[in-house]
Structure 1
Amino acid sequence: MKKHKSIVYQKFCNFIKNKKLFTKHKSVLAAISGGQDSICLLKLLKDFQIYQDLTVHIIHFDHGWRNDSKKNAIFIKNIANRWNFICHYETADKMLSEEDARMWRYTTMRKICQELKIKYIITGHTYSDKLETVFFNMMNGTGFEGLQSIQPEIQVSTHINIIHPLINVKRDETLDFCRNFCLPIWSDTTNYNRKIKRNRIREELIPYCKQYFNSNLEDSLSKFMQSANYDLDYLQERTYYLYYKYKHPKYVGINRTSFSLLSLSMKRRIIRIFIYHNTDIKLSFLETQEYIELIKYKNNQKKKISVLWYLYIDHEWIYLLSNKKI
């Protein structure tokens, strides 16, 4: 592959090369907002097409949160037409909360990928986003996993992965990249609303910490997160080993006696994996604690997890049963 003068482009290509992406699957779905990070991503994809055959689909979501959201969508469509990208445009039917909007976006993207047989969803999340997410998670009382923040690649289904090729790129670098190539950027006014916690972390907390505590905050936290990731990788491997070891050979269940002998930390991890792998339900910290207490003291009890699923506890096994089987 020919050399490109941009450091950001080199980081992008190194990510693709290290992850061995696009060797078999030649289509991607890129989530684009129009801000500097996503426009930087589009330019990188456009340049990457010069050296490798790649079909780029882009998707833009109109949440209806801003008065200029329609103009924002037109801005994205014009860029897609100029660069010969296939554009998908989705509009929310009603006003959604931030969490509901997130679920809507990822459900829609998975559906499109399944229909078009696209393996990769690609977003413009940067290292700066990763750092902000760590701060945000810590403020909300995260567990150890919250330090992992945004991962380079996340498997969301058997045939679909989300990738973050700019995860080693800082926001300052994407802005310089856009300026160097004279790229148009859509300014999202909600990014300047200090009532939004993530914006306040970005605009106030991190600059304050850099000014008064550590001018090299990003590098220091990067080393800390890398060290934490090594420990978490080991814990994850150990958790899966025990989970499969204690699984029921026929039914959806785990051995209660073996489970009860584990440390509290391992119990939390195994019960979360047990529930998530079979129902796609992510337990909160309080829900996890509630189930552990139930397993510890109750026999022949059932606990409703959702409309479709129940946890059933007998003397020897912890079962996960569908509503129809209860």
Structure 2
Amino acid sequence: MTIDLYKKFENSFHEQIKLTPKLSIVVAISGGQDSICLINLIENIKRTKYLLKVEYIYIDHQWKEDSKYHIDHLINLVNSFKQKISIYQIKSITSSEYKARTIRYQILTKHALTYNYNTIITAHTNTDKIETFFQLLLRGSSLEGITSLNVSNQLTQELFIFRPLVRASRLETAYFCRNFSLPIWSDSSNYNYNTYRNRIRYEIIPYLNQYFGTQIINNLLSFLSIANIENEYIKQNALKLYLIARHHKYIALNYKLIRKQHNTIQIRTLYIFFYHNFNKILSKEIIHTILYHFNNHLNYIRIIKWHELKINLYFSWLYIN
């Protein structure tokens, strides 16, 4: 099992190297089995020519009474490899999983861009992928959302997020840590059943395994793989439409071109337009309002107010005040 994990890890690294030939990485760690496994795999591969520089980063949400000792444990571990570690402590404690995740990714992205790293690495496994799928499914997420936890995603033109363990399971990382007697820090917050992820991990997934067979997890991973391919097809077609429909000079879209397309492509193109130009994610309500006016609009100005933006439809164009 250890040999298989090494192969999966190295294969993932070779794929990422094609995107970023000289990797400079900041590695998000927690001290759990997946993180400790990841640290040891990276330290094994860092001797190769692929890695320019490595830094570890820990984000403390102050959820645990023993967080100080947890931090000391991680500092000692990383120092034993003669590597650099940065610690961020969140001042405002939040119990929201979504807010905590958003804060973590904001910190990781800002740190990477500030200190010129081209890749953020996390210790997500395919077990996390299943848990995230259930979380987002229960939240009513889109196809884009439920397929977001992939081996590699491009965050900006200069920055990737890379998950080299996402093809491995938590069972494999546990075996790896036991095999090498690695110092895992058991995180008490992982057993708090008030969080959706922990209920999914310790109740829903074991229930599915027991009553629907262990093959159910592989079936779900297969579904996510197929869904990701289909999502990429939709995304690429929406991006092509956005590039054709946008105004060459102003922040505007030719909505008469867009409304000829399937509803799915229309929605994705609008998402791209607003996120690219205003860094805003459209709500379902505003999407439906815009599409309604797309399809029921005569040649006069129609203004839709959303936050501080005024969305104008006039003749063939959607533009913003």
Instruction: Give the TM-score normalised by the residue count of structure 1.
Output: 0.90
Match of 2:301 in 1: 300
Letter in 2 for 1:16: F
Map of 1:100 onto structure 2:
99
Determine if contact 1:272/1:282 at 8 Å carries over to the other structure: yes
- What is the CA-CA distance between 1:305 and the residue it aligns to? 4.1
SS in structure 2 of the partner of residue 254 of structure 1: strand
Deviation at 1:23, TM superposition (A): 6.1
Shift in alpha-carbon separation, 1:87–1:66, aligned structure 2, 3 A: same
Which deviates more, 293-302 or 146-155? Answer: 293-302
> Are 1:258 and 2:241 matched, yes or no?
no
Deviations 1:180-235 (A, max 9, x none): 11111111111111221111111111111121123211221222222222222222
Counterpart AA for 1:217: I
Q: Distance in 1 between matches of 2:88 and 2:190?
A: 21
Q: Is the 8 Å Cα contact of residues 256 and 315 (structure 1) preserved in structure 2?
A: no
Secondary structure in structure 2 of the residue aligned to 1:28: strand
Which range moved further: 108-117 or 160-169?
A: 108-117
Indicate the SS of the match to 2:65: coil
Q: Does 1:193 align with 2:195?
A: no
* Identity between Structure 1 and Structure 2 (%): 33
Q: Superposition pairs for residues 154-165 of structure 1, below 5 Å?
A: 154-165=153-164
Mapped to 1, the partners of 2:280 and 2:7 lie a distance apart of: 38
SS of alignment partner, residue 6 of structure 1: helix
TM-score, length-scaled by structure 2: 0.91
CA distance in 1, matches of 2:316, 2:20: 48
Alpha-carbon offset, residue 289 of structure 1: 2.1
Deviates further, 281-290 or 170-179:
281-290
How many residue pairs align between the two structures? 317
Question: Partners of 1:26 and 1:98 in 2: how far apart?
Answer: 30
1:296 CA drift (Å): 4.1
- Structure 1 residue 311 displacement after superposition: 2.4
Partner of 1:31: 28
Distance 1:191 1:294, change over 3 A: farther
1:297 to partner: Cα distance: 4.5
Any residues of structure 2 matched to 1:60-75 within 5 Å, and which?
60-75=58-73
Cα distance in 2 for partners of 1:310, 1:155 equals 30
Superposed, 1:126-205 pairs within 5 Å as: 126-205=125-204
- Per the alignment, residue 238 of structure 2 pairs with 239
Range moving further from structure 2, 66-75 or 160-169: 66-75
Distance 1:201 1:252 in 2: 43
**Contiguous gaps of at least 5 residues in structure 2:** none
Residue 244 of structure 2 aligns with an amino acid whose one-letter code is: K
**Quick check: 229-238 or 270-279, which moved more?**
229-238
State the AA in 2 paired with 1:8.
L
Partner Cα distance (2:220, 2:44) in 1: 32
- Secondary structure of the residue aligned to 1:194 is coil
* SS of residue paired to 1:162: strand
The higher-RCO structure (CA 8 Å, 6+ apart) is 2
* Other structure's SS at 1:87 match: strand
- Asked if 1 retains the 8 angstrom alpha-carbon contact of 2:22 and 2:50, the reply is no
1:53 Cα deviation (Å)?
A: 5.9
RMSD value over aligned CA atoms?
2.1
Report the CA distance shift for 1:154/1:6 in structure 2 as closer, same or farther (over 3 A): same
* Structure 1: tracts of 5 or more residues without a match: 321-325
* Cα pair 1:125 1:166 within 8 Å, conserved: yes
Deviating 4+ runs (over 6 angstroms): none
**Counterparts of 1:287 and 1:41, CA distance in 2:** 42
* 1:44 aligned residue: 41
Q: Which residue of 1 aligns with 2:88?
A: 90
SS in 1 for 2:46: helix
- Deviation (angstroms), 1:52: 3.4
- Checking the alignment, whether the CA contact within 8 Å between 1:25 and 1:118 is kept in structure 2 is no
Instruction: Measure the CA separation in 2 of the matches of 1:272 and 1:53.
Output: 36
